[in-house]
Structure 1
Amino acid sequence: MGTGRLAAGAIALALVLVACGDGGDSGSVGDGKQKIRVAALPLTDAAALYIARDRGLFVKEGLDVTIQPVQQSIQALPALSKGQVDVIASANYVTFLQADEKGALDLRILSEGVRTAPHMMDVLVPKDSPIKTPADLKGRTVAVNILNNIQSLTLDAILDQQGAGHPVYRQIAFPQMGPALQKGQVDAVHAVEPFDSAIQGELKARVLLDGGSAPVQSLPISGYVTTRAFAEKHAKAAAAFKRAIEAASKLAAQDPSLVRAELPKYTKVTADQAKTINLPAYPAATDAARLRRLIELMRKQGLLKKPIDPATLLVK
């Protein structure tokens, strides 16, 4: 995947939620919502969503799911709060936990998306960069998809464990990270798959640090989120969607080739590239204890002010 294609992806993945209408119900069955509108990022995080669609798991549950592509999950947050979409897939937890704390969103978590795994996200530098060790990142500019979010949270935790200083973060959307690194606009990028492998392949970028390493290994980083209003008003549909996603996540965990087959359908990854990229972990069930670990890390870094019991946010 060339950097031109990466840049073009930023345009192609522009938010299209305007097509979702005014937020009114588009179809109901009993107290459950038959049609569910889902905003999703073109990341490996959302693979279970597409597996559920293509394996008929939504249809099996009586759901008609429409998927709307977004470039950043934070872009879809207003649409979710207004009912213009019902669910956000591959939603980074940091943003949505913060929104819940601030009262901007009455958050409910339907299902986990992914947890960190080795090299499912990496800090990359140009092949000839003078940055040789993580300690060299101190004061350097590092691109992240969203400021004060899961990427800086996890990278700072890794650097803290190593006794290294923190970089300066710059917000650059994933599809634009390759061009930014190539042009020298940043010293490093913190890229997730499939952009991670694409940047390495096109620019011969060097992996400086594994973003899924200790102390953030197996950390929940994204999920399928909705609002309390939707979860309560459409309890049967919410439960059906949760079952379908968890069944798909179980398939993804058991047979990663299913994920690799889906990626070319909704990302810019080719079938050949999909064979080799590093995948995150797909949990078959949501674990409140693991989510608590994320919340504690957020509080330690000042990204949350109050303690949150994740069990109160989970849709049963």
Structure 2
Amino acid sequence: MAVTGCGALGSNQLTAAAAGSGLEKPVLKVSILPTTDLGPFWLAQDGGYFKAEGLDVDTVVAASGQASLAKSISGEADIAFSTYPPFFIAKSSGVADMQLVADATSVNPKTNAIVTVPNSPVKTIFDLAGKKIAITAKNTASDLLTRSVMQDHGVDFSKVKWVLIPLPDIAAALQQGQADAAYLPEPYITQAAKTAGAIPVIDINTGASQDFPLTGYGATRKWVQDNPKTLAAFQRAMQKATHEATNDRASIEPLLVRFAKIDEDTAKLLTLPGYGSLLDSRRLQRVPDLLLQLGAIPHPIDANSMIGPQTRG
């Protein structure tokens, strides 16, 4: 995915430091998940992009996108990383008035798939009807994108037995027959192939879910309104890091080993998602439209109304 880039770290340090002196909140807490989607974030942290903007960024690891969002709503974190559905569901249900502040990833070919193992009764997507499918939670990307792909192929998902399993445990669950198939993103696709002989049933990057907006960063509307300079500094750092990550895979691989806790071989083999940082309302509208179509939200949501101020580096 093409990303609007900014100047390399170094020439901008004095300007950024000056801008950083007026930040409302120079110590920033971000709730994250240990996935490959965080590559540019870790690069911004490890490469000094945040510090160049006057930010000291701490992370809080969450168990899921919903848990990450909850940390932002409660004030435990300032900014939350999540797949997009929880942001829109929180808005729809009135749980929180969330603003999207930066993009993170989109579905790329071979980055998200429905997988199975050789001894499973599932051989093709048409075998999924009425089977046990592992996902992380209902109304998450794993649930919605699985149903979307099945719907595209005319496969009835109404009788599927959805098995809720954390991502790190899904490969073992497939091996033990607890599920017949599962939705997996990278790096879990590559890891499950190595440990359980998992094979893709279908790539998620097809039909209605091709290039689908997958993950991003959000904060409460109140936090966004109270911290405009801090938000702008975060966005500038993320844009610089995303530009580098998109153009230099080698800058990301060692960070995945350190922070996503995957081995070097997996880091070299896995397919990276499409990294992005700037939010586009037309592209993001696909998320609430799919949520509405699949019954996850009761009323339409205008994605543009949830996009916070954007600063270009």
TM-score bracket, normalised by the shorter chain, equals 0.7 to 0.9
Distance, in Å, in 2 between the alignment partners of 1:68 and 1:31 is 21
Q: What is the correspondence of 1:90-169 to structure 2 with a 5 Å cutoff? A: 91-166=82-157, 167-169=160-162
CA contact (8 A) 2:91 2:97 kept: yes
Shift of 1:31: 5.5
Which position in structure 1 is the counterpart of 2:239? 246
Cα distance in structure 1, aligned partners of 2:277 and 2:88: 21
SS of equivalent to 1:303: coil
In structure 1, the partner of 2:8 is none
Shift of the alpha carbon at 1:243? Answer: 1.5
Aligned letter for 1:59? Answer: K
Normalization by structure 1: what TM-score?
0.87
Show the 5 A alignment for 1:44-83: 44-83=36-75
Distance in 2 between residues matched to 1:278 and 1:205, nearest whole Å: 16
Give the aligned residue type for 1:83.
G
1:189 to 182, 186, 191: 182
> Where do residues 1-316 of structure 1 align in structure 2 (5 Å cutoff)?
30=22, 32-89=24-81, 91-166=82-157, 167-316=160-309
User: Per-residue CA shift, 1:114-154, capped at 9, x if unaligned?
Assistant: 00011111111111222111010001111111212212211
Which runs of 5 or more structure 2 residues have no equivalent in the other structure? Answer: 1-19
Inter-partner Cα distance in structure 2 for 1:146 and 1:124: 17
Moved more, 212-221 or 231-240: 212-221
Q: CA deviation at 1:30?
A: 4.2
The answer for the alignment partner of 2:6 in structure 1 is none
Number of residues of Structure 1 aligned to a counterpart in Structure 2: 288
Structure 1 ranges of 4+ moved more than 4 A: 28-31
- Mind listing any 5+ residue stretches in structure 1 that lack a counterpart? 1-27
Partners in 1 of 2:145 and 2:35 — Cα distance?
18
Letter in 2 for 1:50: W
Task: State, as a whole percentage, how many aligned pairs show the same letter.
Answer: 28
**1:193-249 Cα distance to aligned partner (Å, 9 max, x none):** 111111111111121111222221111111011111111111110111112112212
Moved more, 109-118 or 147-156: 147-156
